Amino acid sequence: MTATGATRPFATRLTLADALTGGAARSMLLSAVLVVAGAALTSLAAQVSFHVPWTAVPYTLQTGSVLLVGTALGWRRGALSMLLYLAAGAVGLPVYSSASHGLDQLFGFTGGYLIAFVVAAFVVGWLAERGWDRSPLSTLGLMAFGTLLIYLVGVPVLAVSLGLPLAKAIDSGAIVFLPWDALKAVVAAGLLPLAWRLTKKG
């Protein structure tokens, strides 16, 4: 609140992690633990996969985890967590989708999506710190925006790396994933505001 009692627009508020830990998450030690935990969660989520008839590429929980980590931890810790995730895979840990790893993943056709994870975590974290994860409707918008950012970076890299026409890259690198990503966004829109209500700080 300002001196006049008006709420400042774009004022930074607690993240969900801060609220759930009573503010303790703002300590350097716990922040470091949360960054590592976010990277670990994303690596586990990337291994949860299943196939659907309309694409050979499996659906995973990876992007859902990226957006959840960014939203819950805020832009600084969320982006750092995704940078740690990328670094772990780059040095050889089997943390990417289907236990893949290595620099070839970062510089290949999947590289755009992986780099976009850092961008998306940063942006959704910044928006979450400004209250976008407090209501179902705004959380749905937050998840949709984060997903769009991943597509916007990932699809062009996919097209260039594989020599695909842009329309084909959009179809195989974004459109086929829309039903699954939409479902994850709806689930997040229900769970994140509920988590805030449970903290009594939302």
pLDDT (tens digit, 9 = 90+) per residue, 23-57? 666 688 889 999 999 999 999 999 998 888 877 77
Query: What does the pLDDT look like over 126-160, one tens digit per residue?
Result: 999 999 999 999 999 999 999 999 999 999 999 99
Q: Please say if the pLDDT value at position 8 is more than 50.
A: no
Does some domain include residue 1? no
117 neighbors 65 (Cβ within 8 angstroms): no
Residue 52 belongs to what domain range?
16-199
- Higher pLDDT pick, 87 / 19: 87
Q: Assess if residue 9 is contained within a domain.
A: no
Q: What is the pLDDT of residue 26?
A: 67
For residue 49, being part of any structural domain is answered with: yes
Is pTM beyond 0.85? Reply is: yes
* Structural domain contains residue 153: yes
Total number of domains in the chain: 1
On whether residue 4 sits in a domain, the answer given is no
- 36 contacts 83 by C-beta, under 8 angstroms: no
The answer as to whether 36 is a domain residue is yes
H or E stretch at 144: helix 136-162
**Residue 147: per-residue pLDDT:** 97
Q: Which of 182, 179, 188, 73 is nearest to 139 (CA)?
A: 188
In a domain, 23, yes or no: yes
Read off the pLDDT of residues 9-22 as tens digits, 9 standing for 90 and up. Answer: 445 578 999 888 87
Distance of alpha carbon 73 from alpha carbon 31, whole angstroms: 9
pLDDT the model gives residue 6: 40
Answer whether 176's CB lies under 8 Å from 57's CB. Answer: yes
Q: What is the CATH number of the domain that holds 187?
A: 1.10.1760.20
Residue 10 falls inside a structural domain: no
